[in-house]
Amino acid sequence: MLKRLMILAGATALSALGSISIATAADKITVLTWNLPVYGEKIQGWIDDFHEIHPDIEVEWIDKKGTEWATFFQTQLAAGTPPDVINIQGALWAEYAANGQLLDLAPYLEADPDFSGRFVEGALDLWKTDDGETYMVPWYFNRTLLYLNKKMLEEAGITEPPSSFEELMADADKMKGEGKTGFLTTNFDWLYWPLFKMNGVEVLNEDMTKAAFNTPEAVDTLTKLAEATKSGAINNISWTGRWVEPNTAFASGNVGMYMAPNSALFWAASKADWINADNVEVVDAPDDWWTPNHHGWGVSASTEHPDAAVDMVKIATSDAWQETMSSTFSILTLNETVDPKLIAKFESEDPLKAEILKLAGSKLDKITGYLKSPVEAQIKDAFWTSVQPALLGQADPQEALDAAEAKVNRILARANN
């Protein structure tokens, strides 16, 4: 058997290389991950475990940055050599599933109670289609929460978290001024959508054939967001930044409320000592709506080794390796055994982190801004590029929504023909 994969030492070497290759083997599976070069040593552990049950199947691990992942995967699909085991972010899986490029994992889950039973209630529903097919299983999970700067709320005389969109806007207005803003949100991957959903606005209709967002409620929401941004109540980085910019803004201590995934808050906390349980309260956004920022595992439909590929997924999502994952990155896995252990660990070490993780793993049925559509990425871009100027006061809200509706309906019409 060919010499097993050797992991290069050091995160710098891994980042520079971008992948770890082995000599060509007659029997091989390829594992593709999304921007995790520093996890190479742990992935070698998966491979070692895999070889205990499949000693004659070699493994190649490839990691790609988020900006490179989709291009690489599409290139491999076009060449007829897609990776066997695939780590996919968000709702991108729906496109590949609709094109017949992912294996339905439902039969494997049904046949193995240990496999299906390791995930918390509702977790698999995040990737399940209306037909009951399951193309992905959880690996790690973030979702939006609302983080409150206690000092700024106290100075503004605010004693309770906002319970509605109106209260959120009113509280943001009370905290603006003197280089301070009242509210900030992340915006990529629909992370701002709870602001629309708490006003009853949906992205698409129920059967996902037409846009549903061009309503009086949406116009009112967009108008109020734009006005609050112009007044300084909402930080305009909400609509211009992506990751580092909003996290840095909240870390400065000059933002009253921040709606973002839990990983964003952890990043900000690593830059600012003041972000702790004494100074920050974490709550759900009004009406408990949230948008996911999650990763799962899928298997290529064209793999020559489907059973072996699924075995690799089982290893990666096993209790033992998910405990390693959660402790390494302080992240939820939606594993019913692992996540409670992580939360318990932080109860005394970092109470704010414990509370964040506890909340993030709850209310999985209150999801919004998550389209299981093969054209989800196109819809997202069409909507965002139309409304972003309105949020920044550069376009009329109704005209922006009209333009977004026309673009989205054209995308859906093409997809449904």
pLDDT at residue 1 is higher than 50: no
pLDDT digits 0-9 by tens, 41-99:
999 999 999 999 999 999 999 999 988 999 999 999 999 999 999 999 999 999 999 99
In a domain, 285, yes or no: yes
* 33 within some domain: yes
Question: 259, 208 in Cβ contact below 8 A?
Answer: no
Last residue of a domain, one of 349, 369, 388: 349
Q: What is the CATH number of the domain that holds 79?
A: 3.40.190.10
Q: Are residues 276 and 299 in the same domain?
A: no
Domain stops at, among 320, 349, 378: 349
Q: In this structure, is residue 16 part of a structural domain?
A: yes
Instruction: Based on the fold, state whether residues 43 and 155 are members of the same structural domain.
Output: no
In a domain, 5, yes or no: no
Regarding whether 380 and 242 lie in a shared domain, the answer is yes
Examine the domain organization and report whether 83 and 159 are in the same domain: no
| Same domain? 217 vs 240 | yes
Q: Please count the other Cβ atoms lying within 10 Å of the Cβ belonging to residue 199.
A: 19
**Interaxial angle between packed helices 319-329 and 40-53, expressed in degrees from 0 to 180 and rounded to the nearest 10:** 180
- One domain for residues 159 and 282: yes
Residue 209 lies in a domain: yes
15 lies in the same domain as 124: yes
- My answer on whether 395 and 257 are in the same domain is yes
* Residue 66: predicted pLDDT: 87
With respect to residue 2, please indicate whether it lies within any of the assigned structural domains: no
Looking at the structure, do residues 231 and 300 belong to the same domain, yes or no?
no
Say how far apart CA 157 and CA 280 lie, in whole Å. Answer: 16
Mean pLDDT (the chain) is: 93
The first and second tokens of residue 409, run together, are 């309906």
Give, rounded to a whole angstrom, the gap between the first and last alpha carbons of the chain: 49
Q: Is the pTM of this model over 0.95?
A: no
Residues 105 and 254 in one domain: no
Closest CA to 189 of 282, 98, 292, 276: 292
Within-domain flag for 355: no
Numbers of helices and strands, H then E, in the chain: 19, 9
What pLDDT score was predicted for residue 417?
A: 85
Give yes or no: residues 318 and 271 share one domain: no
| Domain count within the chain | 2
Confidence of residue 6 (pLDDT cuts 50, 70, 90): very low
Question: 411: helix, coil or strand?
Answer: helix
Query: For position 15, what pLDDT does the model report?
Result: 34
Same structural domain for residues 187 and 112? no
Domain annotation covers residue 333: yes
Amino acid at 120: V
**183 three-state secondary structure:** strand
DSSP designation for 110: H
Provide the domain limits for residue 412: 143-292+361-416
Which of 167, 189, 355 has the alpha carbon at shortest distance from 256? 167
On the question of pLDDT at 222 being above 60, the answer is yes
Q: Give the model confidence (pLDDT) of 307-337 as tens digits.
A: 999 999 999 999 999 999 999 999 999 999 9
Final residue before a domain boundary, out of 304, 328, 349: 349
Give the length of the chain.
Answer: 417
Q: Model confidence at 17, in pLDDT bands (50, 70, 90)?
A: very low
